[in-house]
Amino acid sequence: MDWLNAPASQQAGLLAEVGWVLVAGAALIFLLTMGLLALALRRRKREIPTAWWTVGAGIAFPSVVLGALLAYAVLRTAALERPPIGAPVVIGLTGHLWWWEIRYHDPASGRWIIGANELHLPAGRPVQLGLQSADVIHSFWVPTLGGKMDLVPGRTNRLFITALAPGVHRGVCAEYCGTQHARMALHVVVETPEQFDRWLAAQSAAAPAPTNATLERSRRAFLDHGCAGCHVVRGVAEGASLGPDLTHVGSRLYLGAGTLPNDRDALARWIANPQDFKPGARMPSFQHLDRETLDALADYLSHLR
């Protein structure tokens, strides 16, 4: 489980430190209380100075200890709000019912590159996430990379992450948002800075052209059956905004926000009837299509890398 792993970012490390200090403080108070109880049970009965115990142990001691722990936690976690040194990588993340739209700023072209359900981060570089919602309240939470933060309609919240090393981390929506809240996963792929730069450059390109007649017929099937009404494929069909951008969908790890591993067979099954895997999803069923057409659509989407 991700939350049992070591912190994988500077921010997660800070939160882990604060958490352990609070646990240690609570444990110390518990042991002290149990020690006093044991001492009281062993000693002979005698009159107890009630006023001193009430003021000292009931008011002064908890006020000092809890106040110190509170001050420590507030001062340490304030660092999470401070912008990191150096220009951060800026990434926008928008929650939808029930998937994630991700926008990367390409410094080479100045354009925004749109992806879905898979967040790529460069290890060792500070990243600023701008968190928004397109519909209801969602919440971004990747346990190994930091604390959770809500995505609230009409406003943008800011979260900083500096990942420590390459790896893949699973995140979730941590605020109940409707029927398929439990299947609104987000995978975070942390890469070396060089790998991230190469990946971003590849993502900025338009969809790869068909390399043979079969893929050309598959591309035509994508257009003929109305897929472009909801999905963008840059260089082929643009302007839609209802569903995830599919320009490079073949390179992603999962389909349906973590619902299925991404392979050709899973693509065909998802297109045929997404309700089998994610009831309530807003994508309609295409069970009326014959097997040859479904395979053609899966071939074309797998080609989009």
pLDDT of residue 78: 87
User: How is residue 238 written in tokens?
Assistant: 């643009």
> What is the model's pLDDT at position 10?
92
Listed in sequence order, the residues at least 6 apart from 298 whose beta carbon sits closer than 8 Å to its beta carbon are: 264, 265, 267, 268, 271
For position 280, what pLDDT does the model report? 87
What CATH number does the domain located at 213-303 have?
A: 2.60.40.420
SS3 content of the chain, % helix, strand, coil (to 5): 40, 20, 35
Instruction: Check whether 1 has a pLDDT greater than 60.
Output: no
Determine the Cα–Cα distance for residues 207 and 234; give it in Å rounded to an integer.
Answer: 6
- Say if residue 71 is exposed, middle or buried (CB neighbours under 10 Å; 0-12, 13-18, 19+): exposed
Summarize pLDDT for 201-231 with one digit per residue, the tens: 999 999 999 989 989 999 999 999 989 999 9
Q: For 62-69, which contacts have Cβ atoms below 8 Å and span 24 or more sequence positions?
A: 62/29, 65/25, 65/29, 69/21, 69/22, 69/25
Q: Which contacts of 239-243 are long-range, i.e. CB under 8 A and separated by 24 or more positions?
A: 242/282, 243/282, 243/283
Q: Are 228 and 222 in contact (CB under 8 A)?
A: yes
Give the mean pLDDT of 270-293.
91
Q: What percent of the chain has pLDDT over 90?
A: 64
Strand, coil or helix: 71 = helix
The stretch 261-273 carries a mean pLDDT of 94
pLDDT digits (tens, 9 = 90+) for 129-152: 999 999 999 999 999 998 899 999
Backbone conformation region of residue 167, classed left if phi is above 0, alpha if psi is from -120 to 50, else beta: left
Beta bridge partners, 127, equal 89, 161
- Contact yes or no for 142/129 (Cβ under 8 A): no
**99/43: higher pLDDT:** 99
Nearest to 170 by CA among 244, 117, 101, 114: 117
The mean pLDDT of the chain is: 90
What residue spans define the domains of the chain? 2-81, 213-303
pLDDT category of residue 4 using cuts at 50, 70 and 90 = low
Instruction: Give the per-residue pLDDT at 107.
Output: 74
Does residue 48 or residue 261 have the better pLDDT?
A: 261
